Copies of this chain bind each other. A is one copy, B any other.
Amino acid sequence: MALVPTMGFFHEGHLSLMRVAGSKADRVVVSLFVNPAQFGPNEDLNHYPRNFEQDAKLAEDNGVSCLFCPDAKDIYPPRFQTWIRVEGLSQGLCGASRPEHFRGVATIVAKLLIIVQPDLAIFGQKDFQQLQVIRRMVRDLNIPVNIIAHPIVREPDGLAMSSRNTYLNAQERESALSLVQALRLAEKMVAHGSRSGPEVIQTVRKHIQSFGNTKIDYVFLCDPESLKPCREIVGETLLALAVWVGKTRLIDNTLLKQ
């Protein structure tokens, strides 16, 4: 049995995780839980998009056997006080601007894996740091599940799919393309022989900043396993971005291959 953990408001990225899950397991469970513990105090928990009716229909159409939608009061009952931290991997990148985010992610994913007991669980590679935090947690706590990564699913023009794209107005939607375009620029630089981290990062930053309404949170080059920063592009290197476009924080990434 396969688990696809989600926060709902399904887009093609989620649906593609569900279909891959269905191709690898006899039954697919999708969890739908907008997890308060992974939102910071000034983040978008209350505005996070929700559409249960549509989600239920889409899940059914994509071969899901069971939609698991627990209540927050059952997941975090009175006197709840147990938290899981994956210490090193949670610190940089998104962990720097979202200090308790990965504590919330690790704890809810552990709970879902323990409740549902799937043979495999599928996560999108857009949240690359989340994927590595979960992989590490599963190994460290001996949770008997196979974690499968699924490539980023993109709109026809390249924008990485995200439930948060719904926040973007027309102008911001244009600026949001700066992320994928910057990643493609970096890939080209590396394909043409560039190995310098600072050079690649500078090009990426400049490209993003040339668009209106963008504010860079981070542009980061690191080892994809340890998430430790790299100054040189050797072997496989993760290029990860977080950019505010207006009031919406978007993330994207690519694996640069030497």
A interface, CB within 8 angstroms of B:
77, 79-89, 106-107, 110-111, 114-115, 136-137, 139-144, 226
| Pairwise interchain contact B82-A84, C-beta atoms closer than 8 A | yes
Please give, as numbers and ranges, the residues of chain B lying within 8 Å of A80 by CB-CB distance.
Answer: 140
Q: Which residue of B lies closest to A110 (CB)?
A: B141
| Pairwise interchain contact A89-B84, C-beta atoms closer than 8 A | no
Please give, as numbers and ranges, the residues of chain B lying within 8 Å of A83 by CB-CB distance.
Answer: 84-85, 87
- A sample of 27 inter-chain contacts (CB < 8 A) reads A77-B139, A77-B140, A79-B136, A79-B226, A80-B140, A81-B87, A81-B136, A81-B140, A82-B85, A82-B86, A82-B87, A82-B106, A82-B136, A82-B137, A83-B84, A83-B85, A83-B87, A85-B85, A107-B141, A110-B141, A111-B141, A114-B114, A114-B141, A114-B142, A114-B143, A114-B144, A115-B142
List 6 other contacts, CB 8 Å, given A81-B88, A114-B144. Answer: A77-B140, A81-B86, A81-B87, A82-B86, A83-B85, A85-B85
Q: Helix, strand, loop or mixed for chain A's interface?
A: mixed
Please give, as numbers and ranges, the residues of chain B lying within 8 Å of A137 by CB-CB distance.
Answer: 82
Please give, as numbers and ranges, the residues of chain B lying within 8 Å of A107 by CB-CB distance.
Answer: 141
Please give, as numbers and ranges, the residues of chain B lying within 8 Å of A144 by CB-CB distance.
Answer: 114
